């Protein structure tokens, strides 16, 4: 076995095909507004959603005064407000906060319904789990939805822990997220950790900031710039079977 004992997997676009998952959930959300799906509307939502979470990671989202003092695990009111902001932006603030929260709830529930695995996810997790690796899912998505997604792709039994931003109150790539992992596992030996994910910022940079190794899942054969320094690179998940 390699030096690694703890394998930390990202979820969306690493184990789950996030694009199709989001497309389905978006369709269900707009049905409530009696709107029909079209590709331009979906593209706008998809890009807005990605940009929102990027801005959130970068600390560019201004919180209301009553939520600014929250630390650690966030309240339901905090989470509802954060998630509803994408809906408000999409509808250009022409819906109320209450309606935005409701639409977001429909969207979040739909994310759990139509889940498509990335090719090789089942075989890879099954093999690594059988070899005794401690497998963690570390995601900026909600814990409950993550569990349901893993159940849908029949991989939940190969996962030891699901650790999420809504548990810690911080998102990858913040150091606080990793501190939450270390504390949860009571393991502070970073040499035993390996992060596997598709995002250079949320996964590779996350690992680098916290002084442990990373494996970039470059499924789209993108060019790697000099800023990011993954320990290893794969183009298919199954490559991990021979590498670890």
The answer on 58 and 35 residing in a single domain is: yes
Q: Is residue 1 part of a domain?
A: no
State percent of the chain over pLDDT 90: 68
The answer on 74 and 184 residing in a single domain is: no
Domain count, the chain: 2
Q: Is residue 217 part of a domain?
A: yes
CA distances from 104 to 78, 91, 217 (A): 14, 12, 29
The answer on 178 and 121 residing in a single domain is: yes
Q: Is residue 223 part of a domain?
A: yes
Q: Is residue 66 part of a domain?
A: yes
The answer on 134 and 106 residing in a single domain is: no
pLDDT computed for residue 139 by the predictor: 92
Q: How far apart are the first and last CA of the chain?
A: 7
Q: Number of H helices and number of E strands within the chain?
A: 10, 6
Confidence band of 16 (pLDDT split at 50, 70, 90): very high
Q: Rounded to 5 degrees, what are φ and ψ at 75?
A: -75, 165
The answer on 107 and 196 residing in a single domain is: no
The answer on 135 and 29 residing in a single domain is: no
Q: Which of 111, 145, 170 is the last residue of a domain?
A: 111
Higher local confidence (pLDDT), 80 or 161: 161
Sign of CA dihedral 78, 139, 161, 7: negative
The answer on 195 and 106 residing in a single domain is: no
Q: Is residue 211 part of a domain?
A: yes
Please count the other Cβ atoms lying within 10 Å of the Cβ belonging to residue 7: 24
Condensed to tens digits (0 to 9), the pLDDT of residues 88-118 reads 999 999 999 999 999 999 998 888 888 999 9
pLDDT computed for residue 1 by the predictor: 53
Instruction: Match 């929250």 to its residue by tokens.
Output: 70
Q: Which of 90, 111, 132 is the last residue of a domain?
A: 111
Q: Is residue 100 part of a domain?
A: yes
Contacts of 195 (CB under 8 A, 6+ apart): 8, 10, 138, 203, 204, 206, 207, 212, 213, 214, 215
Range of the domain at 138: 6-16+117-243
The answer on 125 and 79 residing in a single domain is: no
CB 42 within 8 A of CB 230: no
The answer on 183 and 79 residing in a single domain is: no
The answer on 47 and 93 residing in a single domain is: yes
Condensed to tens digits (0 to 9), the pLDDT of residues 146-167 reads 898 999 999 999 999 999 887 8
The answer on 43 and 68 residing in a single domain is: yes
The answer on 11 and 22 residing in a single domain is: no
CB 240 within 8 A of CB 128: yes
Condensed to tens digits (0 to 9), the pLDDT of residues 17-58 reads 988 889 999 999 999 999 999 999 999 999 998 888 778 777
């Amino acid at each position: 076995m390699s030096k690694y004992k703890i394998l930390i997997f990202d979820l969306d676009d690493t184990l789950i095909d996030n694009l199709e998952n989001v497309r389905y959930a978006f369709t269900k959300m707009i049905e409530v507004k009696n709107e029909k799906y079209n590709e331009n509307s979906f593209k706008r939502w998809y890009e807005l959603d990605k940009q929102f979470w990027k801005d959130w990671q970068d600390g560019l989202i201004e919180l209301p005064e009553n939520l600014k003092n929250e630390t650690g695990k966030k309240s339901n009111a905090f989470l509802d407000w954060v998630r509803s902001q994408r809906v408000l932006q999409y509808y250009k603030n022409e819906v109320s906060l209450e309606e935005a929260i409701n639409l977001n709830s429909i969207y979040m529930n739909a994310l759990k319904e139509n889940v498509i695995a990335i090719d090789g996810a089942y075989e890879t997790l099954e093999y690594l789990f059988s070899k005794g690796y401690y497998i963690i899912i570390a995601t900026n998505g909600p814990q409950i939805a993550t569990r349901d997604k893993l159940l849908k792709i029949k991989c939940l039994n190969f996962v030891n822990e699901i650790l999420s931003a809504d548990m810690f109150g911080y998102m990858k790539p913040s150091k606080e997220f990793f501190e939450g992992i270390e504390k949860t596992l009571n393991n502070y030996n970073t040499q035993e950790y390996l992060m596997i994910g598709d995002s250079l910022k949320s996964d590779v940079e996350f690992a680098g900031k916290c002084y442990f190794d990373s494996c970039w899942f470059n499924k789209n054969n993108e060019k790697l710039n000099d800023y990011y320094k993954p320990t290893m690179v794969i183009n298919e998940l199954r490559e991990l079977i021979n590498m670890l």
